[in-house]
Chain A
Amino acid sequence: MPAVQETVARVREIDVDKYKYGFTTKIESVKAPKGLSEDVIRFISAKKKEPEWLLDWRLEAYRRWLTLQEPTWANVKHPKINFQDLYYYAAPKSTEGPKSLSEVDPALLATYAKLGIPLKEQEVLAGVKGAPRVAVDAVFDSVSVVTTFKEELAKAGVIFCSMSEAVQNHPELVKKYLGSVVPITDNFYATLNSAVFSDGSFAYVPEGIRCPMELSTYFRINEKQTGQFERTLIIADKGAYVSYLEGCTAPTRDENQLHAAVVELVALDNAEIKYSTVQNWYPGDKQGKGGVYNFVTKRGDCRGKNSKISWTQVETGSAITWKYPSCILRGDGSRGEFYSIAISNGHQQVDSGTKMIHLGKDTSSRIISKGIAAGHSNNTYRGLVSAHRRATNARNFTNCDSLLIGDKCGAHTVPYIEAKNASATFEHEATTSKISDDQLFYCLSRGLSPEEAVALIVNGFVRDVLQHLPMEFMAETQKLIGISLEGSVG
């Protein structure tokens, strides 16, 4: 595992207390007035030149939101959020024009280069060796600044663009699918997102098409006191296949930043969507000051027969993570998968898991969750597996393992299982373990440093999940694991 060595090299390069992505980009931006009101929503909608129906949709969500209370059932603690003290829209001034790579503000391109995000489609198109063939939609605060490889993808009939562009250019698709998986009434944060969502990615893969490259979105929060409310919608038509990657970072700030995204996936007959996330929002400092509140609703609908949706997530960042990527297994023979690595260190709080809702016949699902808690953090797996009355032969296998490092952290597993059909077969396995002093000593006596030893043991612990990540993310994730656990032993 050379990644372990690299991890350690990288960890040493970084100052312990310095989040690598914590820089800010100095760029002029256009903001909506602070706070939330119907006027602010009209401002956002007007900025985006949205059709009337979408403004009405937003306003309906807003009115609904006013009647809702924040959920309190999660195993996380935070001061009450003042929703009037946030900016709901911030866009770099320079991106208000047309968007081709050559016209993007160099300051923004430099930001993404610094983050290691490939926005260099020219290189790939020109055949530069080693340039990754990944189409990227880069979202900076509230807007998408550029989407690469659009033309390449269009040749295959794949639509990949920002949500704002999709609203303009493909309104029929947006109207048909937006809110069809996560309705505006869904939950407090999803409803808020429906009212104020700014941008995000949109992908449509037509019938019978295997998307020729990985699609990815890179989210970046830059502005102060700005919430990021992106909305992503991915549709795989009959027999289509798409793999999508998502990455996130934010600057180091003392205040807490709110990120309330909604992701909707729709898979029609025999279609497959693979959705991978590496979430590395700013987690706050050693004392637990600052950091991103990551309150996200992600749901996939296996709407067609024999469709498949697979979620893979690596959660290492954010002060608080509240996130349950789920699958509705509506189509007969459909399959849902959830593979998760959630690492918490310092004062991070994670309450994450999944829901597998079996509605169709012969549906199956698989959940593999690996939680790693270090420092003073709290790490909860919360999952629901349910079988509807008509879901004959529903099958689920769940495996939740927790690993504790040190004695000031906590790991919790909260599984809910509901079977209304007697033919359902649900299996649940859970373990909690600690990295033992003997394991550590064994590694140390072989010349490994404490950081190397922990990175090695943890990488072994999460191996079952790592295997499900796309190649591009695997090495990166192994490094991230080491970096996230820096300072957890010694």
Chain B
Amino acid sequence: MIGCIPDFAGMTKESQFEAENIAMLEIKNLHVVVDGREILKGLDLELPKGQVHAIMGPNGSGKSTLAYVLTGKQDYEVTAGTVTWNGEDLLAMDPSERAAAGVFLAFQYPMEIPGVATMTFLRTATNAVRKARGESEYSTPDFLRFVREKAAALKIDPEMLRRPLNVGFSGGEKKRNEILQMALLDPSLCVMDETDSGLDIDAVRIVAEGVNALRGPERAMLVITHYQRLLNHIVPDRVHVLSDGRVARSGGPELALELEESGYAEFGEQAA
């Protein structure tokens, strides 16, 4: 595995020791089986807080599987390896514990829940997470103010929040709603699965601005995308290319541009 953790290559022993103590996502030799098929085959990844890493790769390379394993979806069986977040064993936690610990996934296909107003869902989720973190729950008026402010930044029509969650939402509305939840739940590890898919260029820009506004020294982000386009707007610190369930190559943002030119042919993408 070449170039997997080049940031740490030339460090002194002391600074390496410090690096090991800073908050980060650390994935070691992760093997995951879904429906009897091994999808991740020894994936290694380190994502320090304050950084944004992009995961790219051809279809079927295991990108979405990685997102689901990080958030604890059932039927994604980890057969070997470890995943720690700030030193804690993420794999030992159930999905809601992970949410409380700061893990958030912006879904590629957000779920519809008929009859449940989006606002109701947002408040239930926000208060559930706050409660689990030992923070005070929002009162209704406080929450309304909080949501309106965050929604306005994402150009979300307040009318959308009254509609049932994701029911009849356009692709752009669904993705903005995901980023709104990311803003409300105040996660420290944000995983975005194909957040740009199905969006026109204006929507990509709005979503990317929302994401960039959440970048900060206390937050780590993993942006999963098939195309380089999103990374023009959300410029990553590192780019990792997944191929056949492993990180095949890592590099700086220029790697994404290179892939845009050459495609995934060298990473085993079948001709369509």
* Distance in angstroms between the alpha carbons of A1 and B140 in the assembled complex: 10
* Distance in angstroms between the alpha carbons of A63 and B120 in the assembled complex: 57
Shortest Cβ distance from residue B260 to the other chain A in the assembled complex, whole angstroms: 31
By beta carbon, the residue of chain B nearest A8 is: B128
Please state if A447 and B132 are interface contacts (CB–CB under 8 Å): yes
> Could you jot down 21 A-B contacts, CB within 8 Å?
A2-B140, A4-B124, A5-B128, A437-B74, A438-B111, A441-B71, A441-B74, A442-B111, A444-B99, A445-B96, A445-B104, A446-B129, A446-B185, A448-B96, A448-B125, A449-B96, A456-B121, A456-B124, A457-B116, A460-B114, A460-B116
- A456-470, CB < 8 A from B: 456-457, 459-464
Spell out A's residues near B (CB within 8 Å).
1-2, 4-5, 436-439, 441-449, 452, 456-457, 459-464
Please state if B124 and A448 are interface contacts (CB–CB under 8 Å): yes
Please state if B96 and A447 are interface contacts (CB–CB under 8 Å): yes
Which B residues touch A443, using CB under 8 A? 113, 125
Which B residues touch A1, using CB under 8 A? 116, 120, 123-124
By beta carbon, the residue of chain B nearest A466 is: B115
Whether A461 touches B115, Cβ cut-off 8 Å, given contacts A446-B129, A447-B128, is yes
Number of B interface residues in the complex (CB < 8 A): 36
User: In the complex, which of the residues B124, B140, B181 has the most CB atoms of chain A within 10 Å of its own CB atom?
Assistant: B124
Please state if B105 and A445 are interface contacts (CB–CB under 8 Å): yes
Shortest Cβ distance from residue A286 to the other chain B in the assembled complex, whole angstroms: 24
Complex partner residue of A447 from B73, B99, B114, CB under 8 angstroms: B99
Which B residues touch A437, using CB under 8 A? 74-75
- B104-148, CB < 8 A from A: 104-105, 107, 110-116, 120-121, 123-125, 127-129, 132, 137, 140
Please state if A5 and B116 are interface contacts (CB–CB under 8 Å): no
Across chains A and B, the number of contacting residue pairs, with CB separation under 8 Å, is: 85
Complex partner residue of A441 from B73, B113, B185, CB under 8 angstroms: B73
Q: Label chain A's interface by main secondary structure.
A: helix
Please state if A449 and B128 are interface contacts (CB–CB under 8 Å): yes
Please state if B181 and A446 are interface contacts (CB–CB under 8 Å): yes
Which B residues touch A464, using CB under 8 A? 115
User: In the complex, which of the residues B104, B110, B121, B164 has the most CB atoms of chain A within 10 Å of its own CB atom?
Assistant: B121
* Distance in angstroms between the alpha carbons of A457 and B111 in the assembled complex: 12
User: In the complex, which of the residues A437, A447, A461 has the most CB atoms of chain B within 10 Å of its own CB atom?
Assistant: A447
By beta carbon, the residue of chain B nearest A437 is: B74
B94: CB under 8 A from chain A? yes
Please state if B115 and A447 are interface contacts (CB–CB under 8 Å): no
Complex partner residue of A5 from B121, B124, B181, CB under 8 angstroms: B124
Which A residues touch B181, using CB under 8 A? 446
Please state if B96 and A460 are interface contacts (CB–CB under 8 Å): no
Please state if A461 and B114 are interface contacts (CB–CB under 8 Å): yes
* Distance in angstroms between the alpha carbons of A457 and B165 in the assembled complex: 10
* Distance in angstroms between the alpha carbons of A90 and B167 in the assembled complex: 53
* Distance in angstroms between the alpha carbons of A356 and B262 in the assembled complex: 69
Please state if B115 and A462 are interface contacts (CB–CB under 8 Å): yes
Interface flags, B73-111, vs A, CB<8A=1, else 0? 111000000000000000000111011100011010011
